[in-house]
Homo-oligomer: A and B are copies of this chain.
Amino acid sequence: MANSASGDSMVHRLVRVIAAFDSEHPTLSGAELARRAALPSSTAYRMVDELLAESLLDRDGQRLRLGTRLWELVSRGSKVLGLREAALPFMEDVQAVVGHHTTLGVIDQQDVLYIERIGSNNSTINITRVAGRLPIHATSTGLILTAFGPTEAQETFLRRLPKLTDATVTDPDELRRMLAEMRHSGYCVMPGTIVPESTGVAVPVFSADGTAIAGLSVVIPRENGPVQPSITALRTAARGISRALGWDGTLRDAIRRSL
Protein backbone atom coordinates (compact mmCIF):
# COMPACT_ATOMS: atom_id res chain seq x y z
CA MET A 1 0.00 0.00 0.00
CA ALA A 2 1.37 3.36 -0.98
CA ASN A 3 2.93 5.54 1.65
CA SER A 4 3.35 9.27 1.30
CA ALA A 5 6.72 11.01 1.26
CA SER A 6 6.28 11.59 5.00
CA GLY A 7 5.88 7.85 5.48
CA ASP A 8 2.35 7.65 6.80
CA SER A 9 0.07 5.15 5.17
CA MET A 10 -2.91 5.84 2.97
CA VAL A 11 -5.17 4.34 5.64
CA HIS A 12 -3.73 6.65 8.27
CA ARG A 13 -4.31 9.68 6.05
CA LEU A 14 -7.85 8.50 5.45
CA VAL A 15 -8.45 8.24 9.19
CA ARG A 16 -7.24 11.82 9.56
CA VAL A 17 -9.68 12.95 6.86
CA ILE A 18 -12.65 11.19 8.50
CA ALA A 19 -11.64 12.35 12.00
CA ALA A 20 -11.51 15.97 10.75
CA PHE A 21 -15.33 15.90 10.81
CA ASP A 22 -17.04 15.80 14.19
CA SER A 23 -20.15 17.17 15.85
CA GLU A 24 -18.57 20.65 16.11
CA HIS A 25 -17.35 20.48 12.50
CA PRO A 26 -20.01 18.54 10.57
CA THR A 27 -19.11 20.36 7.35
CA LEU A 28 -15.71 21.60 6.16
CA SER A 29 -14.38 23.43 3.13
CA GLY A 30 -11.58 21.70 1.22
CA ALA A 31 -9.04 24.07 2.78
CA GLU A 32 -10.36 23.50 6.30
CA LEU A 33 -10.29 19.76 5.74
CA ALA A 34 -6.66 19.86 4.56
CA ARG A 35 -5.71 21.91 7.62
CA ARG A 36 -7.58 19.79 10.17
CA ALA A 37 -6.26 16.57 8.63
CA ALA A 38 -2.74 18.04 8.45
CA LEU A 39 -2.43 17.15 4.77
CA PRO A 40 -0.88 19.10 1.89
CA SER A 41 -3.68 20.73 -0.15
CA SER A 42 -2.88 18.73 -3.26
CA THR A 43 -3.14 15.44 -1.33
CA ALA A 44 -6.32 16.55 0.39
CA TYR A 45 -8.04 17.58 -2.84
CA ARG A 46 -7.05 14.33 -4.57
CA MET A 47 -8.46 12.33 -1.66
CA VAL A 48 -11.62 14.42 -1.62
CA ASP A 49 -12.21 13.62 -5.31
CA GLU A 50 -11.86 9.90 -4.70
CA LEU A 51 -13.99 10.00 -1.55
CA LEU A 52 -16.74 11.92 -3.38
CA ALA A 53 -16.63 9.36 -6.21
CA GLU A 54 -17.27 6.58 -3.68
CA SER A 55 -19.89 8.64 -1.75
CA LEU A 56 -17.77 8.44 1.40
CA LEU A 57 -17.96 12.24 1.38
CA ASP A 58 -21.00 14.22 0.22
CA ARG A 59 -21.13 17.81 -1.01
CA ASP A 60 -23.23 20.14 1.10
CA GLY A 61 -23.41 23.27 -1.04
CA GLN A 62 -19.81 24.53 -1.26
CA ARG A 63 -18.77 22.40 1.72
CA LEU A 64 -18.05 18.74 2.41
CA ARG A 65 -19.52 16.33 4.92
CA LEU A 66 -19.17 12.63 5.69
CA GLY A 67 -21.28 10.63 3.28
CA THR A 68 -24.45 8.90 4.37
CA ARG A 69 -23.11 5.86 2.50
CA LEU A 70 -20.08 5.78 4.80
CA TRP A 71 -22.38 5.65 7.82
CA GLU A 72 -24.42 2.91 6.13
CA LEU A 73 -21.40 0.73 5.24
CA VAL A 74 -19.96 1.00 8.70
CA SER A 75 -23.27 0.52 10.52
CA ARG A 76 -24.30 -2.60 8.65
CA GLY A 77 -21.18 -4.52 9.60
CA SER A 78 -20.57 -3.03 13.03
CA LYS A 79 -21.11 -4.90 16.25
CA VAL A 80 -22.21 -1.60 17.74
CA LEU A 81 -25.42 -1.67 15.70
CA GLY A 82 -26.46 -5.13 16.86
CA LEU A 83 -25.76 -4.24 20.45
CA ARG A 84 -27.66 -0.99 20.37
CA GLU A 85 -30.60 -2.49 18.47
CA ALA A 86 -30.88 -5.23 21.09
CA ALA A 87 -30.63 -2.66 23.86
CA LEU A 88 -32.87 0.12 22.61
CA PRO A 89 -36.30 -1.30 23.59
CA PHE A 90 -35.01 -2.09 27.09
CA MET A 91 -33.38 1.34 27.36
CA GLU A 92 -36.80 2.82 26.63
CA ASP A 93 -38.21 0.76 29.50
CA VAL A 94 -35.59 2.18 31.87
CA GLN A 95 -36.21 5.66 30.56
CA ALA A 96 -39.96 5.26 31.13
CA VAL A 97 -39.51 3.97 34.68
CA VAL A 98 -36.57 6.08 35.91
CA GLY A 99 -37.20 9.22 33.86
CA HIS A 100 -33.56 10.25 33.34
CA HIS A 101 -30.91 9.82 30.67
CA THR A 102 -30.18 6.19 29.96
CA THR A 103 -26.90 5.30 28.26
CA LEU A 104 -25.20 2.24 26.84
CA GLY A 105 -21.40 2.23 26.85
CA VAL A 106 -18.57 -0.12 25.98
CA ILE A 107 -14.90 -0.07 26.90
CA ASP A 108 -12.78 0.75 23.88
CA GLN A 109 -9.09 1.57 24.01
CA GLN A 110 -9.04 2.47 27.70
CA ASP A 111 -12.08 4.76 27.59
CA VAL A 112 -15.79 4.34 27.92
CA LEU A 113 -17.32 4.87 24.47
CA TYR A 114 -21.04 5.66 24.62
CA ILE A 115 -22.90 3.95 21.80
CA GLU A 116 -26.43 4.97 22.72
CA ARG A 117 -28.18 7.54 24.85
CA ILE A 118 -31.86 8.24 25.24
CA GLY A 119 -33.60 10.80 27.41
CA SER A 120 -35.60 13.94 27.37
CA ASN A 121 -34.07 17.38 27.28
CA ASN A 122 -35.44 17.87 30.78
CA SER A 123 -33.26 15.12 32.19
CA THR A 124 -30.51 15.91 34.65
CA ILE A 125 -27.08 17.15 33.55
CA ASN A 126 -25.37 14.49 31.50
CA ILE A 127 -22.18 15.10 29.59
CA THR A 128 -22.25 11.77 27.78
CA ARG A 129 -23.07 11.80 24.08
CA VAL A 130 -23.41 9.12 21.47
CA ALA A 131 -19.95 8.32 20.05
CA GLY A 132 -18.43 10.34 22.90
CA ARG A 133 -15.78 9.09 25.31
CA LEU A 134 -15.14 9.46 29.05
CA PRO A 135 -12.40 8.09 31.34
CA ILE A 136 -13.14 4.62 32.71
CA HIS A 137 -12.61 5.39 36.39
CA ALA A 138 -14.82 8.45 36.33
CA THR A 139 -17.94 6.68 35.13
CA SER A 140 -20.21 4.07 36.65
CA THR A 141 -20.23 2.30 33.27
CA GLY A 142 -16.44 2.13 33.15
CA LEU A 143 -16.13 0.85 36.70
CA ILE A 144 -18.79 -1.83 36.48
CA LEU A 145 -17.25 -3.12 33.22
CA THR A 146 -13.82 -3.11 34.85
CA ALA A 147 -15.22 -4.95 37.87
CA PHE A 148 -16.62 -7.67 35.61
CA GLY A 149 -13.66 -7.61 33.19
CA PRO A 150 -10.39 -9.55 33.08
CA THR A 151 -8.01 -9.11 36.02
CA GLU A 152 -5.10 -7.91 33.82
CA ALA A 153 -7.23 -5.06 32.47
CA GLN A 154 -8.05 -4.06 36.04
CA GLU A 155 -4.38 -3.83 36.99
CA THR A 156 -3.49 -1.81 33.87
CA PHE A 157 -6.36 0.51 34.64
CA LEU A 158 -5.40 0.98 38.30
CA ARG A 159 -2.00 2.34 37.22
CA ARG A 160 -3.36 5.50 35.49
CA LEU A 161 -5.97 7.47 37.38
CA PRO A 162 -6.24 11.25 36.90
CA LYS A 163 -8.59 13.14 39.24
CA LEU A 164 -11.62 14.82 37.65
CA THR A 165 -13.68 16.18 40.56
CA ASP A 166 -13.28 15.99 44.35
CA ALA A 167 -15.40 12.85 44.28
CA THR A 168 -13.32 10.96 41.71
CA VAL A 169 -11.64 8.02 43.42
CA THR A 170 -7.99 7.70 42.41
CA ASP A 171 -6.57 5.58 45.22
CA PRO A 172 -5.80 2.14 43.72
CA ASP A 173 -6.48 0.27 46.96
CA GLU A 174 -9.83 1.94 47.49
CA LEU A 175 -10.76 1.28 43.86
CA ARG A 176 -9.72 -2.37 44.16
CA ARG A 177 -12.02 -2.70 47.14
CA MET A 178 -14.85 -0.92 45.28
CA LEU A 179 -14.43 -3.19 42.25
CA ALA A 180 -14.66 -6.30 44.46
CA GLU A 181 -17.83 -4.91 45.99
CA MET A 182 -19.31 -4.25 42.53
CA ARG A 183 -18.56 -7.80 41.38
CA HIS A 184 -20.47 -8.96 44.41
CA SER A 185 -23.43 -6.56 44.22
CA GLY A 186 -23.67 -6.45 40.42
CA TYR A 187 -23.97 -2.67 40.17
CA CYS A 188 -22.00 0.57 40.52
CA VAL A 189 -23.24 3.83 42.05
CA MET A 190 -20.93 6.82 41.53
CA PRO A 191 -22.06 10.17 42.94
CA GLY A 192 -20.60 13.26 41.34
CA THR A 193 -17.44 11.79 39.86
CA ILE A 194 -17.62 13.83 36.68
CA VAL A 195 -20.32 16.41 37.30
CA PRO A 196 -20.87 17.15 41.01
CA GLU A 197 -24.67 17.42 40.56
CA SER A 198 -25.21 13.91 39.13
CA THR A 199 -24.97 10.32 40.22
CA GLY A 200 -24.22 7.58 37.72
CA VAL A 201 -25.67 4.12 38.27
CA ALA A 202 -24.56 1.24 36.02
CA VAL A 203 -24.98 -2.50 35.63
CA PRO A 204 -23.28 -4.92 33.21
CA VAL A 205 -24.82 -6.40 30.05
CA PHE A 206 -23.57 -9.89 29.16
CA SER A 207 -23.06 -11.48 25.75
CA ALA A 208 -23.80 -15.11 24.90
CA ASP A 209 -20.40 -16.27 26.23
CA GLY A 210 -20.89 -14.47 29.56
CA THR A 211 -18.55 -11.55 28.82
CA ALA A 212 -19.59 -8.20 30.29
CA ILE A 213 -19.67 -6.40 26.96
CA ALA A 214 -21.55 -3.21 27.77
CA GLY A 215 -22.68 -1.09 30.67
CA LEU A 216 -26.27 0.11 31.00
CA SER A 217 -26.47 3.30 33.03
CA VAL A 218 -28.71 6.11 34.20
CA VAL A 219 -27.57 9.55 35.31
CA ILE A 220 -29.81 10.90 38.05
CA PRO A 221 -29.71 14.13 40.06
CA ARG A 222 -27.47 13.63 43.07
CA GLU A 223 -29.99 14.83 45.65
CA ASN A 224 -32.86 12.75 44.38
CA GLY A 225 -33.55 10.26 47.16
CA PRO A 226 -32.77 6.56 47.06
CA VAL A 227 -30.99 5.02 44.07
CA GLN A 228 -32.47 1.56 44.63
CA PRO A 229 -35.33 1.99 42.13
CA SER A 230 -32.79 2.92 39.42
CA ILE A 231 -30.69 -0.14 40.25
CA THR A 232 -33.73 -2.38 40.07
CA ALA A 233 -34.85 -0.93 36.72
CA LEU A 234 -31.34 -1.25 35.27
CA ARG A 235 -30.82 -4.83 36.44
CA THR A 236 -34.16 -5.88 35.05
CA ALA A 237 -33.47 -4.25 31.68
CA ALA A 238 -29.87 -5.52 31.52
CA ARG A 239 -31.11 -9.10 31.92
CA GLY A 240 -33.47 -8.53 28.99
CA ILE A 241 -30.72 -7.09 26.78
CA SER A 242 -28.32 -9.91 27.73
CA ARG A 243 -30.96 -12.50 26.92
CA ALA A 244 -31.62 -10.81 23.55
CA LEU A 245 -27.88 -11.21 22.89
CA GLY A 246 -28.06 -14.94 23.56
CA TRP A 247 -26.93 -14.90 27.18
CA ASP A 248 -28.11 -17.79 29.33
CA GLY A 249 -28.94 -16.57 32.83
CA THR A 250 -27.37 -19.59 34.50
CA LEU A 251 -24.01 -18.76 32.99
CA ARG A 252 -23.75 -15.52 34.88
CA ASP A 253 -24.67 -17.20 38.12
CA ALA A 254 -21.86 -19.67 37.41
CA ILE A 255 -19.45 -16.79 36.85
CA ARG A 256 -20.52 -15.08 40.04
CA ARG A 257 -20.14 -18.21 42.11
CA SER A 258 -16.62 -18.61 40.79
CA LEU A 259 -15.56 -15.13 41.91
Give chain A's interface residues, CB within 8 Å of chain B: 1-2, 9-12, 14-15, 18-23, 25-26, 43, 46-47, 50-51, 53-56, 65-66, 68-82, 85, 88-89, 92, 95, 106, 108-109, 113, 115, 117-121, 130-133
Contacts and interface: CB of A to CB of B under 8 A. Distances in A.
A73 B1 contact: no
Nearest to A19: B73
21 contacts: A1-B2, A1-B43, A1-B50, A11-B14, A11-B47, A11-B53, A15-B56, A15-B73, A18-B73, A19-B73, A20-B77, A22-B76, A23-B76, A25-B77, A26-B77, A70-B78, A71-B74, A71-B115, A72-B133, A85-B130, A92-B118
A98 to B, nearest CB: 14
A-B residue pairs, 4 tightest by C-beta: A21-B77, A2-B2, A75-B131, A11-B50
Contact of A89 (B10, B53, B79, B119): B119
A26 B75 CA distance: 11
A1 to B, nearest CB: 5
Number of copies: 2
A79 B108 contact: no
Contacts of A66: 74, 77-79
A77 B74 CA distance: 13
Given A81-B131, A88-B118, A118-B89, A109 B69 contact: yes
Given A1-B2, A23-B82, A10 B12 contact: no
A64 to B, nearest CB: 10
Given A1-B2, A11-B50, A11-B56, 13 more contacts: A2-B10, A9-B53, A19-B73, A21-B77, A23-B77, A26-B82, A66-B74, A69-B109, A71-B131, A81-B131, A89-B120, A92-B92, A92-B118
Nearest to A117: B85
A65 B80 CA distance: 11
A14 B2 CA distance: 13
Contacts of A109: 55, 69
A210 to B, nearest CB: 15
